[in-house]
Homo-oligomer: A and B are copies of this chain.
């Protein structure tokens, strides 16, 4: 089963909008066990669309097309499709009827421009649009089934679910399911992760590994196709578990989640499970750690307070860092980080306090403490410590992300032991 996606419209090729429709459709097809072989985007031109349709008709079994069904002059997809099929566009009574009822419900008169949208290739069937005016249609060219949907994401999504998906299930059957395991990894470069997992595909035939950088993390995917009959699916699940365990053990202690969760979700789970509360003192991360922690719904169960103390005055007044510490060592020092963590824990009456103080750049670095230096402090039950690290990813935003992730990882490791 070869599936392709075609997106039409100048706005994508001009860089004015990002084509998110294709990603949505890839994901939906994957859920049906259908993997997309190719995505193509072309402009609003009858010749170009028609040429591409002809090529796809030769190599694919199904193709989902989005865009170019609107009422304006640059909406040419139906025309291009008719040309490819060697037929005329004709007024579709069914399409006109659904459009008319769409307008009536909203108290509008149908315009001549809108009526143009009901002109479909003669042999096409109608796909009803519940959320807008442009009807979709389906047609077979060579042995490929084409489904044409509008480019407006909300309309396309409803039309896919209501009109296209049932037809795909009818014509393709349930297909081969694919299971994907995701490991979230921190502290390894993609190439190092690849080296550690060498031999995977020999050890687990039929499974594939995928790597994706989501700075500062990498995601390792284990793709396991299922044969789909009940006899071997238990075997497949066992294999899948063995593959995951093997990968986790090879990646040493760098796997922060073996279910694809984010670091802030993992930290949140541990805090909730162990009934701990958290306070944060941030200098160089500027609120990013708190923002990550509070991206997790329900984080108010364990997160109490973050003091984003950019000025020394705030470090002294709010976190109770000793003035003489700042005078003796400066803001970027392990002792300062330690006092920040201890201070914020106390100020918020929390079980754990973590802190960051460092230099995110681009300026502010010195020979001793270059841009990328960060001191991370942690204070918890029976535990107070701080450590200096040096990273440098060349830009402020990446340094901030790396500092924040390191602080959360230090906390995660402490929480596992407590």
Q: A residues bordering B, Cβ < 8 Å?
A: 10-20, 22-30, 35-43, 48, 52, 70-74, 106, 108, 111-114, 117, 130-131, 133, 152, 154, 180, 189-195, 201, 208-213, 215, 221, 280, 282, 285-291, 293-295, 297-300, 303-311, 313-314, 317-318, 347-349, 360-363, 392, 394-398, 400
Contacts and interface: CB of A to CB of B under 8 A. Distances in A.
B16 A210 contact: yes
Given A15-B30, A306-B287, A363 B190 contact: no
B308 A74 contact: no
Given A210-B10, A212-B17, A309-B305, A70 B287 contact: no
26 contacts: A11-B210, A14-B36, A14-B210, A16-B27, A17-B212, A18-B19, A18-B23, A38-B42, A39-B39, A39-B41, A40-B41, A70-B194, A71-B194, A72-B194, A111-B195, A154-B395, A282-B287, A287-B289, A287-B294, A287-B308, A290-B290, A295-B397, A303-B310, A304-B313, A306-B306, A317-B347
B213 A152 contact: yes
Given A71-B191, A290-B291, A304-B311, 17 more contacts: A13-B37, A15-B27, A15-B28, A37-B43, A38-B40, A74-B208, A74-B209, A106-B392, A113-B191, A152-B213, A286-B291, A288-B291, A297-B362, A303-B310, A305-B309, A305-B318, A318-B347
Contacts of A43: 37
B318 A307 contact: yes
Nearest to A31: B15
Interface of A, helix, strand, loop or mixed by DSSP: mixed
Residue among A130, A208, A294, A299 with the highest chain B CB neighbour number at 10 A: A294
Contact of A304 (B221, B291, B314, B347): B314
